[in-house]
Amino acid sequence: MTYGLGMLVEEALVMIADTRTNAGVDDISTYRKLHLVASGPDRLLGAATAGNLSVTQLILSTLAEGLPPIEEGGVPRRLSDAPTMFRAAQLVGEAVLTARNQVSTGLAAQGIASGVSLLLGGRIGYERLRLYLFYEAGNFIECQRDKPFLQVGDIKYGKPILDRSLRYDMPASEAVKLGLISFDSTMRSNLSVGRPIDLIVIPTDHAAPIVSRRIEERDAYFDDLSMRWSMLLDDVRATIPPPPFMTDD
């Protein structure tokens, strides 16, 4: 299992993914799941993947080589040539469906799950930042301001804090902090999600620098964040009155 998160706030797009792969309790390794799938003077697109590793690798390879041309003798269709983010999303959806159709039968015959999900975020030209969530059938939805985040993988542990606190008008630095708390909560409850964690922040302002970082097994900021969050949760719990039906009259 894995956990991938995309947050689209007014100041930036934030994408975070863990790197742990798990084929059993005695077979745990590290594999990058946050990928830069297209970059250039006019575009920057990132993808976070979750699900069967062989299927996600096939999807990424298909996108890198390009999907078959529509017309005979045409050129492969690549993300580097997509004119808009919506057209890029259509290409990714087609790649997801193609990969699933190629390997799902063989994997099913071996009793191996072939499900995948994927986040695609970024911008092309001067259109606004966009974030999409793809399902294994290749269909997708776009992130909206009233719920400015999308998740893939094991989402249940990290979702409550985002539902309660993330807002579209939140500063990007606060969104990153909240996203890391979401990851800390997930790692506390699910041993198959763990560091290193990859993170990228794409500012809305084209002139602002891109932030790209890997949070390793020992990271001073993340360790401090985890410790403070645990302590504050316990302190706040203590300030809430006990249920009246549990106290003596």
pLDDT at 28 over 90: no
pLDDT at 25 over 50: no
Give the separation between CA 249 and CA 244, rounded to whole angstroms. 9
pLDDT at 113 over 80: no
The torsion angles phi and psi of 70, rounded to 5 degrees, stand at -70, -40
Cα 71 → chain centroid:
34
Q: Edge-to-edge strand order for the sheet containing 34-40?
A: 34-40, 43-51, 116-124, 130-134, 140-142
Average pLDDT over residues 174-182: 98
The tens digit of pLDDT for each residue in 47-58 reads 999 998 889 999
For 7-72, the DSSP string reads EE-SSEEEEEEE-EEESSTT-EEE---EEEEEEETTEEEEEEEEE-HHHHHHHHHHHHH-BPPSST
On whether the CB atoms of residues 120 and 89 are closer than 8 A, the answer is yes
Give the separation between CA 5 and CA 119, rounded to whole angstroms. 8
pLDDT classification of 148: cutoffs 50, 70, 90: very high
Q: What's the start-to-end Cα distance of the chain, in Å?
A: 49
Instruction: Please state whether the predicted TM-score (pTM) of the whole model is above 0.75.
Output: yes
On whether the CB atoms of residues 159 and 151 are closer than 8 A, the answer is yes
pLDDT at 237 over 60: yes
Give the CATH fold of the 3-242 domain. Answer: Glutamine Phosphoribosylpyrophosphate, subunit 1, domain 1 (3.60.20)
Average pLDDT over residues 170-176: 98
Average pLDDT over residues 1-24: 90
Average pLDDT over residues 116-137: 96
On whether the CB atoms of residues 28 and 188 are closer than 8 A, the answer is no
Domain coordinates in residue numbering, the chain: 3-242
Residue type, 235: D
The tens digit of pLDDT for each residue in 72-85 reads 889 999 999 999 99
Comparing CA positions, the residue from 142, 132, 150, 141 lying closest to residue 6 is: 150
Numbers of helices and strands, H then E, in the chain: 5, 12
Say which residues have a Cβ less than 8 Å from residue 230's Cβ, sequence separation at least 6.
none
- E-only strand ranges, the chain: 3-8, 12-18, 20-22, 28-30, 34-40, 43-51, 116-124, 130-134, 140-142, 149-153, 197-203, 211-215
On whether the CB atoms of residues 152 and 92 are closer than 8 A, the answer is no
Percent of the chain with pLDDT over 90: 83
Residue 247: the pLDDT is 81
